[in-house]
Amino acid sequence: MTAAPSTHTTQANAEQRYSVTRADLPLSCPTPTMALWNSHPRVYLPIEAEGEVQCPYCGAHFVLQD
């Protein structure tokens, strides 16, 4: 049996700091481009008010770029 090709382009939680834009909202961790099989459950993070937020599961720090 062969595995289906993955459409996800980045490894989940590979970095500790991510820059995101308003086009990326609503923000979730892991992001839609990350594989979920090796990560924590997807959580949506409120970044709009402060401009930055930290994931409670993995500690990844997201910064909103305007």
- Dmax (CA) for the chain in angstroms is 47
Does residue 2 form part of some domain? Answer: no
Domain extent, residue 24, equals: 17-64
Domain count for the chain, please give it.
1
Contacts 24+ apart (CB under 8 A), 21-27: 21/64, 21/65, 21/66, 22/64, 22/66, 27/53, 27/62
- Give the model's pLDDT for residue 37: 75
Is the CB of residue 12 less than 8 Å from the CB of residue 32?
no
pTM to 2 decimal places: 0.74
Does residue 47 form part of some domain? Answer: yes
Does residue 60 form part of some domain? Answer: yes
Q: What is the pLDDT of residues 20-59, one digit of tens each?
A: 999 999 999 999 888 877 789 999 999 999 999 999 999 9
